Chains A and B, each alone.
Chain A
Amino acid sequence: MKLIYSHLQKFLPTLDINPQQLRDDLTMIGHFTNYFENIEDEIVFDLDIKVNRGDCLGYYGIAKDLSIYYQIPLITNISPEIINQDTKILPIKVTTDNVKRILAVKFSQLQNTTSPPWLIKFNLCHQTKSINLIVDLTNYIMFMYGIPSHAFDVQKSTESLIWEMNPKYQEFISLDKTKLKIDKNILMINNPTKPLSLSFWGGNDCAIEDNTKEIILEMAIYNPSVVRQNSRQLKSTTEAGIRLEKQLDPDLIPLAFNHLCKLILQNCQGQITSAFFDYYPQKINLPPIKFDPKKPSLVSGIDIPKDFSLDCLSRLGCTISPTTSVTPPSIRPDITLEADLVEEVVRFWGYQKIPTNQPLSYKKVSDITPKEIHLINNLKDKLKELGYDEILSWPLVNRPSDPATVITTQNSINTESIYLRQSLIPSLKQQLDQYQRYKLNNSQFFEIGKIFSKDQDGYQEKNSLCIYHSNPQQLKNDLQYLNLPNNSNDSSFVEIIIDNLPKIDNYQPKIDRQTAFELTSQIINLDANVLFDSIQDPIQLINKYSDIIGQKYLWEMVITDIYQDTKNQKYRYTFRVSYFNITDKLAKEIHLKTFNLI
């Protein structure tokens, strides 16, 4: 969400904080601000959208938080109240209880034109396309207060608007001419003969155009669950929908609607030609919450004065009774528990005041570590000691091992891998193929992970161990050493269900730091023959030349041959050096230099 500094100051005229500090403060009090940038001489902040704070999807809600944090005044009445003496009643009907509040009024003799430069710039900063003056003003108010509004061209829509669940229509054409298939679960605004709008998206049939003279302007709030379901069902996301699917404040509508009407009168001329239609069947009354002013200190672990707590909640708009039961303002329906009030107090007091150097100290509590975790960690350590490398593979696979018991995912977007694996062996075989593709030989590796199946009792998952060794005999020996059942059948792969093994107690995992590498090219093997006057210690030679080559490109070095040349009384040592993540040319260069072969 974008936030223009100068427009924020319309609600907070005394706000005078440098943008970097403002960005950090917004973030610290819960409005994560990624960055700010300069667009057309405006400082524009980029904020993440909070899923639980509908009030913060507009400048007003953010400004309200900042006014508490900086203890500066919040100006709510930006626009003076409109005195409307027209008494004509609009023939609007509401037939669904999914509407929380509607304010509507008719304008006539309007002159709809292109938007003034300030509004075009506002749209630009909000990455919104400018349509025409009336539409741009409705969008402006949506961004300022977080409440969407909609204008109907009366020539097309008539005055007889009906808020209802879709009575009969099968198709709806949106403002951008998208055709949507709709059913009875869709909340709509219609007239008696045709569909006009969805709750979160205007329709093409009553769109405002440059020659529009008469409009019905409405601002409404709905049951957020219904808007959300409709938006998901129709796979459509709009700026209005993002806001209307959150809990918005019906009591904020008059302020926002008055501001919008004033802007339309100022910019589009015309006049109001109906009474205000106000549908508000059930006023919001948030229940009081029992609040202990000591609680913020008890929860945070630091001293937060009682006076600060009460003052903070008061500035937030809460009503505080002498018995310290606290009633949140209608703009904050997210506050329902004492814990919510505590968070408000602590965030305005400042999370940064909580010390970071006082961790929990050791305390003896029940060890509830399951035995299979000890066993798994123990097996991993022992396999590592035997020279095996651990790998991890995809639990989703493209082919079932046993179609009768395989579990299939329903909506994986990775369409080739939709089955939960029933064995680790195919995954390890795939890993071996991959290593061979990289010409990485003599690998021995294992994986411990879940395997899945279904039976009459439901879905089953078990911990499984799978080991690969190129030498089946060695694998047998290792299984024997590990005291594991040998069902390898002379294969290089063996899989053992860990959950069926006896458990091992009193295991504490060892901690070690090791190195793993991302191979970006094939291993390059180069040989070198080096003559010596006497017999050498092969390990010392390997260490010596390894040090010369360095660890950056050296994968492995072995001596493959030692030969005594009796004629010259020399000993010839043949080295095979494997280089990795390096070009052929550079590998040869290093190789020739290391063994003095140039």
Chain B
Amino acid sequence: MDQNLEKIKSEYISKIDAITNDTQYEQVRVEIFGRNGKINDLFSNIKNIDSKLRKQYGFDLNQLKTELENVLKTKNKNKLEIRNSKLEIRNSIFSLPKIGHLHPVTQTERQLNDVFLKLGFSIYSGPEIVTDEYNFERLNVPKDHPARDMQDSIYIKEPEYLLRTQTSTIESYLLQAHSHQLPIRVAFPGSVFRNEKVNRSNHFIFHQYQAVVVDKEITMKDLIGTMDLMFKTLYGPDVVVRYRCKYYPEVEPGVGPDMQCFSCHGVGCPICKYAGWIEMGGAGMIHPKVLEMAGIDPKIWSGFAFGMGLDRWTMAQKNIKDIRTLMGGNLAYKPNQP
């Protein structure tokens, strides 16, 4: 032990030995372990120690602290339980155990995974930097098609490389990679990118969830029934969802699920833009051209695909008003609450 620390130790052991009453005990205790006491003083000066010696010095200082605590402990056994608790409290405070949390978007993904795992689905993923071919062409969106206006892309190297604009892009890779392993049932969460200014309501990155089935004799009834099961899992058994005709280039027939507005119950309000319904994503029977491009014979195989955004639902569930909160920033979790 450092000579100076040895000297301090001797000095305080003598003082502890000389204690004869509670008042003296408290005075010495505060002098050594109080907020402005010797030990804290020594710890605060550790930064001034030569960096080469600092590690050893820290070790010695902790040793000194432990030894003086033990001497005090033996001096007054009656006070020990409380005093000792107090000293321990200084190092490890009494509190409920720290509980970790998954991100709200992950929590929503897990809820959905649970629905699909029970139906025999695999969980899948795909690249985020993708080619025009997989993001558009294999999804039946040729160059100059007006449907490209539906998505404003962020390019890495225009026009070939871009950040994926939709989870359907994963479907392109999936169908090609597993065209000889049919039937397949696959679900995939993923982040997607659009060229949007970031503000309270919009973000350049958001999260989608997609499910794809390719099998024999798959029908719209299978699609709508499965989607409805998913919505009931997320929003509860009383949720009202309608399934309407909607255009997406990668599906035919296309389906648009709308949930009756949770705020106005269909009457019309600012939240649903007075439609009474909130669009929940897109779906449909996989377009024969998409299957063909993946090397799958649409005369034998059929399938459905549907996708939905996760951010709005997650925000509503957690009462988050600003979409930026989801991606860094001021999202926080109570340490003791699951």
Contact = CB atoms under 8 A, between A and B. Distances in A.
Interface of A: 27-30, 32-35, 50-53, 224-225, 228-229, 245-246, 298-302, 337-340, 342-343, 346-347, 351-352, 354-370, 372-373, 380, 383-396, 407-414, 420, 427, 430-431, 434-435, 438, 440, 442-444, 450, 452, 459, 461, 508-520, 535, 538-539, 542-543, 551, 554-564, 566, 571, 576, 580
Interface in B206-261: 213, 215, 217, 219-222, 224-226, 228-229, 241-247, 249, 252-256, 258
A395 B129 contact: no
Interface of B: 22, 79, 81-83, 85-86, 89, 93-107, 110-111, 113-114, 117-120, 122-125, 127-129, 144, 146-147, 149-150, 154-158, 161, 163, 178, 181, 183-186, 191, 195-198, 204-205, 213, 215, 217, 219-222, 224-226, 228-229, 241-247, 249, 252-256, 258, 268, 273-275, 277, 285, 287-289, 302, 318-322, 325-338
A356 B243 contact: yes
15 contacts: A35-B274, A228-B144, A351-B245, A357-B225, A359-B228, A360-B185, A365-B122, A367-B122, A380-B106, A434-B329, A512-B110, A516-B101, A519-B330, A556-B334, A564-B83
B329 A359 contact: no
A551 B333 CA distance: 12
A517 B326 CA distance: 10
B306 to A, nearest CB: 12
A347 B255 CA distance: 10
B184 A366 contact: yes
B332 A519 contact: yes
Given A299-B302, A509-B110, A515-B334, A392 B144 contact: no
Nearest to B247: A52
A517 B338 contact: no
B188 to A, nearest CB: 9
Contacts of A372: 125
Contacts of B215: 363, 365
Contacts of A461: 127-129
Given A356-B225, A359-B228, A363-B185, A391 B245 contact: no
B182 to A, nearest CB: 9
A452 B129 contact: yes
B178 A561 contact: no
A440 B327 CA distance: 18
A368 B122 contact: yes
A512 B186 CA distance: 21
B334 A387 contact: no
Given A356-B228, A373-B124, A516-B332, A51 B147 contact: yes
Contacts of B186: 368
Contacts of B156: 407-410, 420, 459
A393 B246 contact: no
B222 A538 contact: no
Given A343-B245, A355-B225, A564 B82 contact: yes
Contact of B333 (A245, A517, A560, A571): A517
Contacts of A551: 334, 337
B256 A300 contact: no
Main secondary structure of the interface of B (DSSP, over half): mixed
Nearest to A385: B100
Contacts of B321: 518
B224 A387 contact: no
B285 to A, nearest CB: 6
Contact of A395 (B119, B128, B197): B128
A517 B331 contact: yes
Contacts, number: 342
A564 B287 CA distance: 77
B286 to A, nearest CB: 10
A352 B100 contact: no
B253 A343 contact: yes
B205 A395 contact: yes
A103 B293 CA distance: 40
Nearest to B189: A373
A438 B185 contact: no
Given A50-B247, A300-B219, A373-B124, A396 B225 contact: no
B80 to A, nearest CB: 11
Contacts of B122: 365-369
Given A387-B97, A409-B163, A542-B96, A51 B221 contact: no
Nearest to A576: B93
A368 B188 CA distance: 12
Contacts of B104: 514, 516
B270 to A, nearest CB: 11
Nearest to A441: B335
Contacts of A356: 224-225, 228, 241, 243
Nearest to B145: A51
A71 to B, nearest CB: 18
Contacts of A440: 332
Which 6 pairs, one residue from A and one from B, show the smallest C-beta to C-beta distance? A301-B221, A301-B219, A343-B253, A30-B245, A384-B100, A387-B98
B332 A438 contact: yes
B285 A299 contact: yes
A391 B331 contact: yes
Nearest to B338: A514
Contacts of B110: 509-512
Contacts of B221: 300-302, 354-355, 358
B89 A390 contact: no
Given A28-B245, A513-B107, A563-B86, A301 B255 contact: no
Given A351-B255, A514-B102, A395 B191 contact: yes
Contact of B113 (A30, A509, A566): A509
B335 A556 contact: yes
B325 to A, nearest CB: 5
B111 A32 contact: no
A394 B327 contact: yes
Given A369-B124, A559-B89, A359 B226 contact: yes
Contacts of A384: 100-102
Given A409-B155, A450-B128, A360 B213 contact: yes
Contacts of B22: 566
A431 B154 contact: no
B202 to A, nearest CB: 11
Contacts of A562: 82, 85-86, 89
Nearest to A37: B274
Contacts of A228: 144, 146
Contacts of A511: 110-111, 113-114
Contacts of B195: 411-413
B220 A427 contact: no
Contacts of B83: 564
Contacts of A366: 122, 181, 184
